[in-house]
Structure formats: structure tokens, C-alpha cells
Amino acid sequence: MFDADRAELQGRDLARPVILVREETKPDDIHGFFAAQGILTSRGGKTSHAAVVARGMGKPCVAGAEGIQVDVQRCEATVGAHVIREGDMITIDGSSGNLYLGLVPMVEPEFSDELNRLLQWADDVAYLRVMANADTPADAARALKFGARGIGLCRTERMFNAVERLPVVVEMIVADNEQQRQSALDRLLPMQRADFRGLFETMAPRPVTIRLLDPPIHEFLPSERQLQGEIEQLRHLRESILGMDVLASSLMLIEGGISAGGEPAVKQIVSADLVEAAITKKEQILRKVRALTEVNPMLGHRGVRLGITYPEIYRMQIRAILEAEAECVAKGLEVHPQMMVPQVCTAEELRWIKKYVDEIRAEVEANTGQTLSCRFGTMIEVVRACMRADSLAQEADFFSFGTNDLTQATFSFSREDAENKFLPMYNQRGILQDNPFDVLDTKGVGKLMELAVQWGRQTKPGLSVGICGEHGGHPSSIAFCHKAGLDYVSCSAPRVPVARLAAAHAALTA
């Protein structure tokens, strides 16, 4: 864009990537800077307006590229024989000052020695430990590189979604009886165990926190409409196959019944039985999908509620965690696995799941001869859980706040609806200062958290408490977590360095 107003329109209002191209920039262009990914000017030095402002904003800028003729009136720039017009893709490199036509691929950054040292100082003064959310050993390795002190959230459902596993997961879900389900789970068990062992090994001796299955299980199944379409197609196919049979017998009539032992004139490609079997299977899945349909899945059959109604699933996961620990211990590794239960609202739910854990632990310890240390905790993401923190603390070794769900529950906002419909206006009109899904609402959600920490620790002094929502990587939320007395925050791997420094700031300015 050759004009700040249009850059603002394209970049901010239409959310398109924009580079602002000018001969030189003036303070009046500032709104274009905000909207642009980068700035290119043909005049000026490293202390020119464009350079100073872009530097402050952390945006790439190439200033004083004298080989470029910028014609703002005609909205084009000429570089030698090339003409760049609005709408063309270019790439600028603020480090080298180079300009490229087209999109240039990017590479991931490396940590400098200085950054490592500075963040080491940060860890020394911080009280909050910074952990990462990671679902695979590769994620975990990346988190380690960023300096994570452990995994604060591993979402097991991500493992269920892998291409080669999904059919087994679907089989488990649509199983008509416990035996069928168990056979699918028996195949999932070694996969999950290998997943967990990979995470424990990568992170050893740091803690790894695994959340038992959380989403409603119909999320793993195809949609009703998709299934209906597929069944429709299969039925057409069945008709066609019947038609082929008719055709084959008709040919016999036409050719006068010759070649009784010869090749049939019409080849049967697919057997009618196979199609019939496929239809039956799809209809079975469709029935299951219909049976599992919920009016409001967010508040429905998910989390610990699944663990209680389908105990086999949680039992498989718990076994996989404990057996993975046993395997690591047998190899002489120091590991600190933790499992946590999502969507808990009453201590009775926790006791129920803990019973499974105790049984399976005894069994695994007996079988392997190892002593297992895996800790048992609860997510705090339901308002009632905050109110009942004292009794939950009797069963849990640790609390982990899921502030995304807790924010939805506290406001009674569904995140997608809120962000797409009314939140922008709420922010614009100042009804809410921030988007509570970006910036932790310390006054409301935070108040619940403070109460839960206080009551939880009244029951169990020294109870370990953390946060694993997206808020865990936001500096102002981290400052709040420090004040509220949390022990750790967990965030996405690339946010870990930010969170480490923010945790130090929180400790130094508290």
C-alpha cells in the first residue's frame, strides 16, 4: 500500500498482510504503521521517522532504499526494470535491508547466549515456575529449548486424533458392548503408553502433567450429515450392483445361453456383501452419533463425566500413564508424572476416579515390582469446583486452573459466540476493558481463583497450584498469578521465554 489510510483499511479492517511503501514517512502516517506488517521507504536514514517508529513497534523496516522510485500518486514503485504495484507480494528483510519480490520462506529463530543468560537470571528471582503445554515428545523438546521447567498440560485427545489411531478410537466409541470396547482399548493402550513414556523421557526429571480425556467423544466421530451422505452413496452403489447382476443375466439371454462355463460378460467389481457390510457399519456409527448428540456439548457429556460413565477409557489412560512410569523407573530414569481430571465439580467425582487409580497402581506395582510416584490432581475450571476447593483438596495433590473454561463459566459466555458477536463492541464501548479470553479477568475469574487457592490450602497446606489456560503466557495474568500465590504457570512453548521474564517481573515488583 502506498498510502497510510489504505494500509489501515487493508491491514486492520480487512486483516490482510500489508507493507506500507512511501518515499518517506511522517507522523501523520502512524495509523498505517499500526496496520502494516512492515515499512519500506526510499529516503531517510536509520534515525528517520520510519526507522524509529518501526523499531519501537518491533516491525521490520527498510528505510532509505534509494534504488527504488516510489510514485505514491500512481501507487507503484520502480526498481530497475521491475514495477511493483499495490497487490503484488513482496518481502522485506529488516536485518539486511533487502527487498524481494514474492513471498520468501521463513525459518525458526535460535536462542542467543545473552537471552539464555538473562532468562537464567529471571528464573533465579522468579517464584512462579514456567511450564509448557505440550502434547507430543517433539512439542516437549521444543518447550525444553525455550526453558520450560516441565509440562503443565498434555491434552491426551490430540493423541487420539492421529490418522492411524482414529479408526481404533471410532471402534471404541461405537462398540455395542463392553467386550468390543475393551478390545479397541487394548489396542490403544500400548500406543498411549508409548506416547507418555516419550514425554516422560524427554522431560526427565521434570514434571509432566497429563490431563485425562476431556472433550465429548462424539468429537472423534464424523458428523451426522457426512454419514448420511456416505450411506446414501453406498445405497446407490448397492442398487448399481443389483443392476449389474440383472445386466449379466440379460446378456445371457441375448447371447443365447452359450459359454456356460466361460467368463461372465459383465465383471462383478465389488461384491454386494461388502457394500452391505459397509452400510451396516456406517448405520451403526450414525446411530451412535445420534445417540451422542448434545444440545450444548460445552456443558455436556465430557471430562470426568465420561470417566465415570465409560470407566474403561479412563482406566486405559491411567494404566498407560502408570505403566509408562514403571518402564521409565525400570530404566533408572527419574520421572515425575502427574495426572489430572478435567471438568470436576464435586469431590465424589474425584474419589471415584481415584479408586481406579489406586486399583491400577497396586496392580502395576505388583506386576513390575516398581514403586510409582505419579501424583493425582484436579483441574479447576468449573465454578462449583472453586466453591468446593476445600473438599477437593482432600482428594487432590494439586490444582490446575483451566482459565479458558472457567472464564466461559464465570461470564456465561461461549467463547466463539462472544468473540464473533458482541465482545468487540463491548471493548469498543468500554463495557469490558479487555477480551477476558486474552487478558485474565482478575476481578471476577481472579476472585474465584483466589478463593479456591485459599480454601484449598486451608485443607492442605502447601497444596501445589498452577494455571494451564492460554492466560498462562500473558504478563499481566502472570503478575496476578504471582500475587494469588500460584506455584506455576503453563503456556504454549513459544510463550515460555515471555512468561519466564514476566514471572521475574512479578517477583521483583510485587
Partner 1 sequence: MNIDSDTYKWVYAFTEGDGSNKKLLGGKGANLCEMTQIGLNVPPGFVITTEACLHYLESGSKALPEDMMSQVREHMVRVEQATGKGFGNPDNPLLVSVRSGSALSMPGMMDTILNLGLNAQTLQGEIRQTGDARFGYDAYRRFIQLFGKVAMGVPDEVFDQEFDTVKQAVHVKEDVGLSADDLQQVSERFLRVFQEHTGRAFPEDPYEQLEIAIKAVFSSWTGKRAVDYRREFKITPDMANGTAVNVCTMVFGNRGNDSATGVGFTRNPATGEDKLYGEYLVNAQGEDVVAGIRTPKPIHQLAVEMPEMARQLDELRDRLESHYKEIQDFEFTIERGVLHCLQTRNGKMNAVAMVRTSVEMVKSGLISKQQALLRINPMHLEQMLYPRLSPGFTRVHRWPRASRRRRVRPPAVRCLMPIVPSCRAGTWRAR
Task: Indicate which residues carry an active-site annotation.
Answer: 49, 468
- Comparison of 38 and 152: residue with beta carbon closer to partner 1: 38
Q: What is the DSSP string of 252-300?
A: HHHTTT--TTS--SS---S-HHHHHHHHHHHHHHHHHHHHH--S-GGGS
Strand 76-79 with 68-71, pairing? antiparallel
User: Could you tell me the smallest distance in angstroms from the CB atom of residue 460 to partner 1?
Assistant: 32
- Comparison of 87 and 261: residue with beta carbon closer to partner 1: 87
- Looking at 51-59, 161-169, 328-336, 422-430, which segment touches partner 1 (CB under 8 A)? 51-59
Tell me the angle at which helices 445-459 and 403-411 cross, rounded to the nearest 10 degrees.
120
Whether 313 and 184 have beta carbons less than 8 Å apart is answered as: no
Q: What is the DSSP string of 122-159?
A: HHHH-SSEEEEE-SSHHHHHHHHHTT-SSEEEEETHHH
Instruction: Verify binding: residue 444, partner 1, rule CB under 8 A.
Output: no
User: Could you tell me the smallest distance in angstroms from the CB atom of residue 162 to partner 1?
Assistant: 26
Four-point Cα dihedral 275, 276, 278, 280, nearest 10:
170
Strand 375-380 with 336-341, pairing? parallel
29 CB-contact burial (10 Å; exposed 0-12 / middle 13-18 / buried 19+): buried
Interface residue with partner 1 among 198, 300, 444, 475 (CB under 8 A) is 475
Instruction: Verify binding: residue 13, partner 1, rule CB under 8 A.
Output: no
Instruction: Verify binding: residue 430, partner 1, rule CB under 8 A.
Output: no
Map residues 123-142 to x or -, x wherever contact with partner 1 holds by CB under 8 A.
-xx-----------------
Instruction: Verify binding: residue 292, partner 1, rule CB under 8 A.
Output: no
Instruction: Verify binding: residue 53, partner 1, rule CB under 8 A.
Output: yes
Fill in the DSSP letter of residue 490.
Answer: E
Instruction: Verify binding: residue 27, partner 1, rule CB under 8 A.
Output: yes
Instruction: Verify binding: residue 47, partner 1, rule CB under 8 A.
Output: yes
User: Could you tell me the smallest distance in angstroms from the CB atom of residue 298 to partner 1?
Assistant: 30
Tell me how many residues contact partner 1 (CB under 8 A).
Answer: 92
User: Could you tell me the smallest distance in angstroms from the CB atom of residue 47 to partner 1?
Assistant: 5
Distant-in-sequence, close-in-space partners of 63: CB < 8 Å, separation ≥ 6: 39, 40, 41, 43, 44, 45, 46, 48, 50, 51, 54
Instruction: Verify binding: residue 486, partner 1, rule CB under 8 A.
Output: no
Considering only residues 63-82, where is the footprint of partner 1 by CB under 8 A? Answer: 63-68, 79-80, 82
- Comparison of 17 and 264: residue with beta carbon closer to partner 1: 17
Distance CA 392, CA 341 (A): 11
User: Residue 432 phi/psi, 5° resolution?
Assistant: -120, 135
Considering only residues 98-117, where is the footprint of partner 1 by CB under 8 A? Answer: 98-109, 112, 114-115, 117
User: Could you tell me the smallest distance in angstroms from the CB atom of residue 206 to partner 1?
Assistant: 21
Alpha-carbon Rg for the chain, nearest whole angstrom, is 30
Distant-in-sequence, close-in-space partners of 65: CB < 8 Å, separation ≥ 6: 40, 41, 42, 97, 99
Dihedral of alpha carbons 94, 100, 104, 107, sign:
negative
Instruction: Verify binding: residue 118, partner 1, rule CB under 8 A.
Output: yes
Q: What angle do CA 70, 13, 52 make, to 5 degrees?
A: 50
User: Could you tell me the smallest distance in angstroms from the CB atom of residue 9 to partner 1?
Assistant: 8
Half-sphere exposure of 412 (CA within 13 A, CB side): 0
- Bridge partners (DSSP) of residue 71 are 76
Map residues 237-266 to x or -, x wherever contact with partner 1 holds by CB under 8 A.
------------------------------
User: Could you tell me the smallest distance in angstroms from the CB atom of residue 109 to partner 1?
Assistant: 5
- Comparison of 81 and 366: residue with beta carbon closer to partner 1: 81
Instruction: Verify binding: residue 311, partner 1, rule CB under 8 A.
Output: no
Instruction: Verify binding: residue 222, partner 1, rule CB under 8 A.
Output: no
User: Could you tell me the smallest distance in angstroms from the CB atom of residue 490 to partner 1?
Assistant: 16
Interface residue with partner 1 among 5, 16, 277, 373 (CB under 8 A) is 16
Instruction: Verify binding: residue 302, partner 1, rule CB under 8 A.
Output: no
Interface residue with partner 1 among 94, 152, 207, 216 (CB under 8 A) is 94
